[in-house]
Structure 1
Amino acid sequence: MPDTRLNVSLQNHERSEPQRAVPAHFNEYIVACEHLRGEGIFDEIEQQFRLDRSGYQFIDAVLAGLAFFSAQPTYSGLRGMLDEVNGRGWSQALAAAGGRDRLCSQASMSRVLGDIPEEMACRFKEQLLGAWTPAAPFSAYEAVLWRDCTGQSWHGFAIDGRVQPFRRRALCEGEEYPPARRRVDSLGAKPGYSGRKRADVQMETSILEHLGSGLYLAMNYAAGNGQLSDDFAQGLALIERWANARGLEPGRCFLAIDGHQGGFAQLRAALRSPVHFLTRLRYYEPLKDPAVRAQLAQQTWQKVDDSRSGPQRWATEMGDYWLGDARARLVVSCFEPTDGKKRGAGCFVDGLQYEVYACDLDPTAYPAAEVVTTYYARAGRQENGFARLDRHMDLEKMYSDCAPGQQVMMALGVWLHNFRAIRGAELFGELEPIDVEAAPRKLESADTLPLAPTGAPAPHAAPAAGRPEPASLAVGFEASHAWWQGVTRKVEQRIGGLDGFSYDAQTRQIGCAKGAYLGLSGMRQRGGRVIVRFRIGSPQACQGCPFRRECTSSTSPTYRKEIEIHMPPPATLGAHDEPAAIQGQDKAADAPTHGSDPADKASPSTALLGLRLSIPDDLPEPGDLHMRQPVLVASTFRNAFRKAARSLKVEVTKSPPDSSTRHVDYLAMTAARRQRRRKTWDERLQWNSLPQQANITIAIRAPLTAARLLPEANTPASDPPFQNKANR
């Protein structure tokens, strides 16, 4: 990279505009480039991310993307920005800040993004949002922490997905037209659940966010319903590394996630991590059992604090869910819909709507009501964060027809969003300490009351005559280990002729050749035999599978691989037989035995589903404090950064000045040129690089309030540029 000098002068009053000044809406780009150049990140990008192509390189796409996002919302699209920059002669000045000759055109930018391989895009986003993100001065600030009911501090994280929908409208056909081509085909979009959005195919972006600071740590871009379960497991590992790098306990971090596809895959991943978790679980079968509802009706239900914009929820402990020797705590909430109809997720029974949440948080630190509050706080914070990203970065737009190129552009927008908050916080100097409540605030007596669901039978009441509950039919199937050992032998015989299939007896799932899993989805009795069914979790797993022809001849897009075996029913059900979970896509094995409480026998679905509902009479007493959520408003830092950056006066000059036309070499003076050898990596990079003898001068005139944005500017400590208005 050529020699670059940064000259900074501080002024109290604005002067006349420099003749070759960079437009003010690109000042954030100049500040970001100075940081990346000073940290040596531009050099790392040039060396680590090389494209096998002539012309513009990966670094050129990075500069164009940074320039576009820093100027938002000035331009309606990337093409409009590049056309104006090249048309008005700003291209060379902006590119020189990153050590390049000029910014690329829209056509060149499209080709560069289309040539980025997926592996390179994944490496780039991980480094950009990880090691290349500057340290936040507020990462350990009290305002970004959660405080549980015992006063202990926590770092909260959340991961959620957002859908990018596409419509596949009819295209003109006929001999007079060329073959039809859809842009989304090259993107790889697939069908999926689009929620309230209208879509034939879709892409999904999942983003891992630190809930207290609003900073984003990771992101992924995938087709269809995405890979949120895999992203959740990767997020747990990333949070553990994040905590260890800062000398924090991973056990003081929790990750909240929506109940994507039932929530059972998230449960499996979380129970193996030291990071705590919170999710909503599609686990409503026990709530359909009148005896279970009767038992829950005797609980003390806690009032859930809310924003008064929705229904008033009540919450209580539901029991334990066992997966091997790991335990997950279940919390149930309920509310009464005003119109008497089901709304949103949950189970509607007897005029009440129930929702189930799974976590491994201590009930003393996070009582049932606070678990529900934390879950919905995650939803509100992330939805607001997505809205800010769209408003300031236009991340919902398409910048490339290829998924890796689109992912690179989105990562640049997310990084700049983080950079604004971090550098904006530096404008405030040392952040003021905030008071932490020392006096306990105990729960008011009015915050708890017994809630008896309408029409619930009395505890331990005999079931009404008539058709038995479906779950009770299967109680006799859940016998001893001996019966399940017979199931294991039968499954192994069944899949013996299928290449790549295997069976895990502990988790009771069948692995297929693709690496997906067929979970234990149900059992039923027919003709004196027990039919045990294993089914893959989602149709997406079978779409595009290279082994599909070996499994089935079905062409249905909703096909899911199923395997059924037939077993004789067990003769008896032992008093201490262990239950197994059979729900949706998940299962639990080797759960602790039931006690002798008659409620256990009165809840047949409890035995079937692996839920231990023998809740102790004395629930754990919650801590003396109300849970406190983070109070930092990170958007204040971003707004301060943008305001300070717009106040700069930037002038970029090159010495010697470049010519308006490129030198055309019409002589083949080297053997490589005569033999038309392919160019080396350095030769490809030098095509748009500045000559080594070039000197770049970036002259910035900055008021005192913006001096902290610049690495070579010093502001007297006695004159802080910003003050907290609330504490003036």
Structure 2
Amino acid sequence: MIPNPSIEVQTSPVDHPSVPVWFAEVVILSQHLATKGLLETFAHQVRLVRGRFGSYEPLDFLALLIGYAASGERTLADFFDRLAPFGAAFMALFGRARLPHHSSLSRFLASVDHPCLEAFRTLFEQNSFAEGWTTETIGGIWDRQGRRFIVFDVDATRQAARQRALPCDPTLPPPRRRLDAVCAPGYTGRKRGEVVRTRTVILQMHTRQWVGTYAGRGNGDYQGELTSALRAITTYLKLFTLTPEAALVRLDGQYSDTVAITQLIEAGVHLVTRARGYRVLEHPQIQRVLAHPPTASMTRVNSEEVVEVFDGGWLPLDEGVPQTRIIVARHRTSTSGKRPSVGKCIGEWVYEVFITTLPADGFLVEDVLNLYHGRGAFEAVLANEDVEEDPDRWCSYTQCGQELWQIACQWVWNLRLSLGQATQQVELREIEWAPPKQAPPSLEAVEDAPREYGPWQWAKAFGAATGRFGADAFVLQEDGKLRCPAGSSLWLSEVRQENEFTQRATYLGFRRDCEPCALKEQCLGRGAKGNRARRVSAVRRLLPPPATMLRTPMMLGSIRWVDVAGRALRRTWTTHWRSQYVELIPLVEFPQRVFPPPRPPRAIRSHYRWSWPDRLARNAWWGPPQLRITVAGVPTTLAIN
């Protein structure tokens, strides 16, 4: 006893660890999974021909991963230290007997193969989305014509890893790094490291639900991951009886090549992305649009910079690719002369190109740009994920093991959203995302207009940077030849059609004129060989056909955005359970372990292989309850038996 004039303080030399603050949430999550039959499904569908991890099965380790994701502990070592005094109670929540050692968990994650991973991913896609949600409560965005879309974000996050610099010497064995199986050299972004792992995630923006995760070494396989992402999005829509046309997928410029865009269009979803190339700016239709006043003007909030936006209409990006809607945004170059990180500088303007398949009568050009730049909300969700769960922390140095852990993290995230919505009954938030507006004027091309090309544009001069004569030093003569600075002639070699709207002319000099020329080094460049002659090229582009401006006095409706407060749901749920009282009381003084029924003697004598039910029963809980867990603050609306 410690003397105190105000209160009575009792002390005890007997160790009695406090129950972890996250234990109450694990109790609720485990009982929810058991009530819905998911623990039984885990046990019979997620199987693995195991390595050396004793008598445990994947269900035992999935229970640990779910508990680790819900706990928020910094490392697995911290998680096992806090869990050790309550290991029997923790495993009993999942119907299991003994707590695996952390080395057994490491061996399990190292042994996870692709079929085991895909079985767990399939259960995640079938059971973690629809629970607690309906077609009406998952939100959406309604365009100016009243059509509903569900917005999905597909993007990649990168986890960089530092590696020591090791000497490379023939007398030394080659280095063996533990991250070689899960990482590879690649783009690290703003993160420091020598090797990187890429994780592509899909987020439903209205409920903040994770729809899938796909990881790979280095920069990953973005085309294969996009195929898997589209399959997960289609699965999500089927759970709510929605067609693929209701999906609106937002992507960054990595997915703007023709292969990825064709994948998206063939899947039947709508898309919004930034173009990776700028060759489409040379198309006559785009040139015609740029020659007229902009369709709309926008002012950036932070910099007060005015951006002019043009609706380029529908164009095929390449031969055999379906048509997409092209939107061009441009702003003036910076007065400081600093080159922009995004966009292409042409003269005094910086151009950006956006690609979409959204209908023009539902989303105006400014609506599409606002929708694309709204991906910043996706970055905010990723930041919240790093704070609440941090799935990119290393749990395994194998690809399948690390990805299994990340799927378990996303499952816990979705459970918090679903159960939080069921207990808090938060109403949907609805805002007017864009006010009603009159339809902008459109350009109508003159029919049967002749195809005409503009003047020849000569290749850029290298000038003083190299000391070499540029194309402007050559003079076009009346006979169609070029006269070089030394007075010799270059003849027209070819005029070829580079693409459907660009022609290139190539002029060649005579070798007999270039070999003895006194200006050879200045014309051909330093180190020029004697068997070369000067080449000069010029390009001319197809002129845009004439067009007339048509005004349509049509009033378009507003755009509505409906969603739920996902972060408030999760954090209110977590804060509630971490502040509730949890008590563990043994029901018997000396608990005796009850073993499973023994195997038949014939099976033992003949060394029969263990069947799946026999293997699962080795660590199953047998016998009557031996512990009572009391959790305070459980609302009556929570349907847990």
TM-score, structure 2 as length reference: 0.75
Q: Could you tell me how far 1:405 is from its partner in structure 2?
A: 0.8
Secondary structure of the residue that 1:407 maps to in structure 2?
helix
CA contact (8 A) 1:165 1:194 kept: yes
Residues 263 and 136 of structure 1: CA distance in aligned 2, closer, same or farther (over 3 Å): farther
Instruction: Say which of 542, 545, 558 aligns to 1:601.
Output: 542
Q: Note the alpha carbon deviations across 1:638-695, whole angstroms, 9 max, x for none.
A: 1121122224434456766885899899x9993544555543323332332212x233
How far the C-alpha of 1:96 sits from its partner, in A, is 0.4
Q: CA deviation at 1:281?
A: 1.4
Instruction: Give the share of equivalent positions with the same residue, in percent.
Output: 21
- Match runs of 1:317-356 below 5 Å: 317-322=311-316, 324=320, 326-338=322-334, 339-356=336-353
**CA drift at 1:342:** 2.9
Q: 2:176 pairs with 176, 181, 194, which one?
A: 181
Local SS of the residue matching 1:130: helix
Structure 1 partner of 2:455:
463
Task: Determine the structure 2 residue equivalent to 1:476.
Answer: 497
Amino acid at match of 2:610: K
Aligned counterpart, 2:297:
303
Kept in 2, the 8 Å contact 1:301–1:316? The answer is yes
Provide the C-alpha distance between the structure 1 equivalents of 2:394 and 2:97, rounded to a whole number of angstroms.
27
Distance change (3 Å), C-alpha of 1:223 and 1:657: farther
What are the ranges of 5 or more consecutive residues in structure 1 without an aligned counterpart?
1-18, 451-459, 481-521, 529-598, 604-612, 713-728
Secondary structure (helix, strand or coil) at the match of 1:382 reads helix
- Does residue 1:84 correspond to 2:16, yes or no? no
Contact 2:184 2:195 in 1 (8 A): yes
CA contact (8 A) 1:56 1:112 kept: no
Equivalent position amino acid for 2:368 in 1: V
Residue 92 of structure 1 aligns to which amino acid in structure 2?
A
What is aligned with 1:632? Answer: 564
Change (3 A) 1:77 1:177: farther
Closer, same or farther: CA 418–183 of 1 in aligned 2, 3 Å: same
Equivalenced residues, count: 550
Matched residue, 2:577 = 645
Residue 229 of structure 1: how far off its partner (Å) = 2.4
Q: Secondary structure at the match of 1:635?
A: helix
2:106 to 87, 107, 110: 110
Distance 1:40 1:340 in 2: 63
Match for residue 159 of structure 1 among 138, 154, 160: 154
Partner of 1:681: 612
Q: CA deviation at 1:245?
A: 3.2
Choose 98-107 or 409-418, whichever is displaced more.
98-107
1:81 Cα deviation after fit? 0.8
Distance in 1 (alpha carbons) for counterparts of 2:192 and 2:434? 51
After superposition, the CA RMSD in angstroms is: 4.1
Contact 1:363 1:622 in 2 (8 A): no
- Measure, in 2, the Cα distance between the counterparts of 1:186 and 1:41: 31
Q: Which amino acid aligns with 1:152?
A: R
Once the two structures are superposed, the pairs formed by residues 55-454 of structure 1 within 5 Å of their partners are: 55-72=55-72, 75-86=73-84, 89-137=85-133, 140-141=136-137, 144-171=139-166, 180-187=175-182, 189-260=183-254, 262-287=256-281, 293=287, 295-304=289-298, 307-308=301-302, 311-322=305-316, 324=320, 326-338=322-334, 339-378=336-375, 380-429=376-425, 431-432=426-427, 441-442=436-437
1:579-601 alpha-carbon deviations (Å, 9 max, x no partner) = xxxxxxxxxxxxxxxxxxxx983
Amino acid at match of 1:643: T
Alignment of 1:509-528 (within 5 A): none
**Deviation of residue 614 (structure 1)?**
7.8
| Matched position secondary structure for 2:81 | helix
Q: Specify the SS of the correspondent of 2:392.
A: coil
The residue aligned with 2:524 is none
Change (3 A) 1:303 1:135: farther
Deviation digits for residues 417-461 of structure 1 (CA, Å, limit 9, x no counterpart): 1111111112223x446667699633699xx9x9xxxxxxxxx99
Q: Give the partner amino acid of 1:271.
A: I
User: Secondary structure of 1:272's partner?
Assistant: helix
Q: In the TM superposition, what is the alpha-carbon distance from 1:43 to its structure 2 partner?
A: 1.0
Structure 1 pair 477–639 and aligned structure 2 pair: CA distance change class (3 A): closer
Amino acid at match of 2:293: Q
Amino acid at match of 2:24: N
**Secondary structure of the residue that 1:353 maps to in structure 2?**
strand
Change (3 A) 1:350 1:289: farther
TM-fit CA distance, 1:295: 4.5
Shift in Å at residue 270 of structure 1? Answer: 1.8
| Superimposed CA distance per residue, residues 483-539 of structure 1 (whole angstroms, 9 cap, x where no aligned partner) | xxxxxxxxxxxxxxxxxxxxxxxxxxxxxxxxxxxxxxx9988899xxxxxxxxxxx
* 2:341 partner letter: G
Kindly state the Cα deviation for residue 409 of structure 1 after the two structures are TM-superposed. 0.7
Q: Is the 8 A contact 2:438 2:555 kept in 1?
A: no
Distance (whole Å) between structure 1 residues aligned to residue 293 and residue 575 of structure 2: 54
For 1:91, give the aligned amino acid.
G
Post-superposition offset of 1:300: 2.3
Tell whether the 8 Å contact from 1:21 to 1:650 is kept in structure 2 after alignment. no
1:351 is displaced (CA, Å) by: 2.8
Listed as ranges, the gaps of 5+ residues in structure 2 are 1-15, 444-451, 462-470, 472-493, 509-539
